[in-house]
Amino acid sequence: MRLFVIFAIVFSVLVFLGCNHTKSKNSGGQATFSAVIVPDPVIRFDLVWDSLVVDSGTIRKDQTLSHLLDDFGMGAGKIATLAANSREVYDVRNMRGGKRWWLASERDTSEIPVWLIYERNDLDYVVFSLKDTLGARLGSYDVDTIYRRVQGEITTSLYLDFEKLGVPTNLAVAMAKVYAWTIDFTHVKPGDAFDAYYLRKRVNGKDVGMPTILFCSFNHHGIDLPAYRFDQGDGSDYFDPLGESLRKAFLKSPVEFSRISSSFNKKRFHPVLKRVKPHLGTDYAAKTGTPILSVGDGVVTKSSYTKANGMYVKIRHNNTYETQYLHMSKRLVSLGDRVKQGETIGLVGSTGLATGPHVCFRFWKDGVQVDHRKEKFPPSTPVRDENMKAFAKEIMRLEAEAGKGCD
């Protein structure tokens, strides 16, 4: 019986192949066969795309799911049911202007859409079923991982030098985050050297997201500062070759890629008041609207306005340290909010007594204002003893991999 089934399957395949050939004669009069090539179906979003009639566009500002589907003849009741059924998978209230969508209907039925695809970001999308099921599923594009290495010296700034080298400029942001506790990038100088081995994710031929640095080194003022990415079970972090964490208690600066326009100075001549007045903070000049970051975890103790400070925020980090951020154009946190290190708490401005857009950053230690750039903070959790062998092995792997060169 089993042999009979196998024979029947083989016979059916042969018959199918025979039916999909066209018969012709060659110059000698003999019959020949030429295959009819049937192209593979086009699959997008796990749907047979070339069997559908597709319309597409982008979500307009303030356009909702109802506005979009109303234009294609879907009633309010059906739209409400779709939104309710989909909520646990994706809340349609999170749809945003500027994002792409596709509406697909079946060729052999009608022009009423049966699928809606909404692109959440460069990587992820939602597929809404507009049939009787009225639901949704999440999906992601296929991702290619590209490895790169870049080396060079600072001539102007890390950002501009990366741009000249054709390197993604957000790699400068990624590197600044690695060294946020170690290097004040407002003080890098020509001759400082960089070396970074990183990966990028590519979707549909386009680089997406931030680069992930796997290994990097920055020679700052003649001192090499290598950093290796390693996960010892607490999430990935960056460590020096001895296993010490590059993370310290606070970020070096509350804004990225700015410049110091005025340092901590107890005898500074005030540019607005025109008299000597202690400047118990550090001014970081930046464009209006530049994000201001909390330099550490903490609780907002003040989010207010005064004539001198303009809009400002003050944060208590622990029983020892507090920080304050002045002259904001906009405050993004409120009294009592808990903030994380690196969280945006406001935007640079020139409110209060200010001659131009900047943030005056103030730092308290045991209730006394001090120059934060002269403080030394203990490092974060190092690589634990039981993980040192694995860490050493990872260093060797990354250096060997980076040394090969990557395409």
Structure tokens at 362: 């103030």
Burial class (CB in 10 A: 0-12, 13-18, 19+), 182: middle
Coil vs helix vs strand at 180: coil
Q: Tell me, what's the pLDDT at 157? A: 86
* Structural contact between residues 310 and 219, judged by C-beta atoms closer than 8 angstroms: no
Q: In what order do the strands lie in the sheet with 144-153?
A: 144-153, 193-203, 206-220, 223-231, 236-239
Residue 239 is predicted with a pLDDT of: 96
Tell me if 281 sits within 8 A of 362, measured CB to CB: yes
Instruction: Report residue 239: phi and psi, to 5°.
Output: -130, 155
Q: Which residue has the tokens 């925020």?
A: 313
pLDDT value of position 102: 95
List the structure tokens of 271. 């540019």
| Whole-number pLDDT of residue 29 | 56
Q: What is the pLDDT of residue 75?
A: 85
The 3-class secondary structure across 10-52, one letter per residue, is: HHHHHHHHHHCEEEEECCCCCEEEEECCCCCCCEECCEEHHHE
What's residue 268's pLDDT?
55
Burial class (CB in 10 A: 0-12, 13-18, 19+), 363: buried
Domains of the chain: 43-140 (3.10.450.350), 144-239 (3.10.450.350), 259-374 (2.70.70.10)
Report the C-alpha gap between 245 and 180 in whole angstroms.
12
Positions in the chain short of pLDDT 70: 1-36, 38, 109-110, 264, 266-277, 404-407
What pLDDT shows up at residue 270?
Answer: 57
CA pair distance 326, 358, nearest whole angstrom = 8
Backbone angles phi, psi at 274, to 5 degrees: 60, 40
| Tokens 């945003």 found at | 96
pLDDT value, residue 241: 96
pLDDT value at residue 406: 52
Residues sharing a CB contact under 8 Å with residue 204, sequence separation 6 or more, in sequence order: 141
Instruction: Give the Cα separation of 197 and 146 in Å (integer).
Output: 11
- Predicted local confidence at residue 3, as pLDDT: 41
Task: Show the beta-strand stretches assigned E in 77-143.
Answer: 100-106, 115-119, 124-129, 135-140
Report pLDDT for 136: 95
Q: In the prediction, which pLDDT does 271 show?
A: 58
The rounded distance, in Å, linking the Cα atoms of 373 and 281 is 10
Q: What are the pLDDT digits (tens) for 11-44? A: 444 444 444 444 555 555 565 555 667 677 888 9
Residue 222: burial class (beta carbons within 10 Å; 0-12, 13-18, 19+): exposed
Paired tokens of 321 = 């340290």
